[in-house]
Every structure is written in structure tokens, then in C-alpha cells.
């Protein structure tokens, strides 16, 4: 599974569990750490954790298990590292404060711009 297919799998998994405001950014031209940065919101700690669990389960089933998870205990911002895709699931206030979409969109060419779902 290539990184584009992985990012699509992540977005579909997030949509399945009713993630809010899912944004998928192609950051392959900006960093060597990952190809895609996917940001989504959950409505509560429990919802954030359910979103991350669904993505991890789907990725593992596709042969791409997570290599790391950070922030699960708090549930306000959980980072799921799938190597070719970094998934940030946050509660709306945390997401608004850190505004990762703006940070990672700086300097991105128009043809590599964010895809909203």
C-alpha cells in the first residue's frame, strides 16, 4: 500500500466514525518525516480515542500497523504515527489553538494544497 492509498484509508476510517472537519495535507515536499498529515476533530475524549482506535485497526488490517501513538491517556490530542501518514485527532479547542493546517500549508504549492473531506 502506497502512502496515497494509506491516506485515503485513514480518511475513510475517520469518516466511518463521524470525525469532524477532516483535512488531508500532502506534506511530502516539505518534510522527509511523512508524506501526509491528516487532521480531524472529535467531539469528546471518548470520541477522539474511538477515532484513533478505528484508524489503527483499519491500518493494521491493511498491513500498515501504527509505529507509535501519543496522547491517548488525555484524549484531547492524539497523534497516530503510520510512518507515511501522521494522524492528528483533536478536540476542537485544541485544534483551533495549534492550527496545524495553517502551519503545514505554508509554502505548499496550489497543486499540493489541502484536501477537505
**Block residue for cell numbers 500549508:** 105
pTM: 0.86
Specify the DSSP class assigned to residue 25. Answer: E
CA distance 42 to 115: 19
Determine the average pLDDT of the residues in 72-99: 94
CA distance 104 to 25: 8
- List the domain range (segments joined by +) for residue 46: 3-116
Counting the structural domains of the chain, the total is: 1
Read off the CATH number of the domain in which 90 is found.
3.30.460.10
**Block residue for cell numbers 478536540:** 91
pLDDT at residue 58 in the model: 97
Q: pLDDT tens digit string along 92-109?
A: 999 999 998 888 776 544
Q: What is the CA radius of gyration of the chain?
A: 13
**Mean pLDDT computed over every residue of the chain:** 89
**Structure-block grid coordinates of residue 89:** 485527532
Amino acid at each position: 500500500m502506497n502512502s496515497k492509498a494509506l491516506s485515503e484509508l485513514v480518511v475513510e476510517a475517520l469518516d466511518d466514525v463521524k470525525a469532524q472537519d477532516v483535512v488531508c495535507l500532502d506534506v511530502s515536499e516539505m518534510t522527509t518525516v511523512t508524506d501526509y498529515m491528516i487532521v480531524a476533530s472529535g467531539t469528546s475524549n471518548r470520541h477522539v480515542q474511538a477515532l484513533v482506535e478505528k484508524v489503527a485497526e483499519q491500518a493494521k488490517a491493511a498491513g500498515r500497523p501504527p509505529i507509535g501513538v501519543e496522547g491517548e491517556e488525555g484524549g484531547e490530542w492524539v497523534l497516530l504515527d503510520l510512518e507515511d501518514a501522521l494522524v492528528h485527532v483533536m478536540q476542537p479547542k485544541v485544534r483551533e489553538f495549534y492550527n496545524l493546517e495553517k502551519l503545514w500549508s505554508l509554502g505548499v504549492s496550489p497543486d499540493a494544497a489541502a484536501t477537505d473531506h
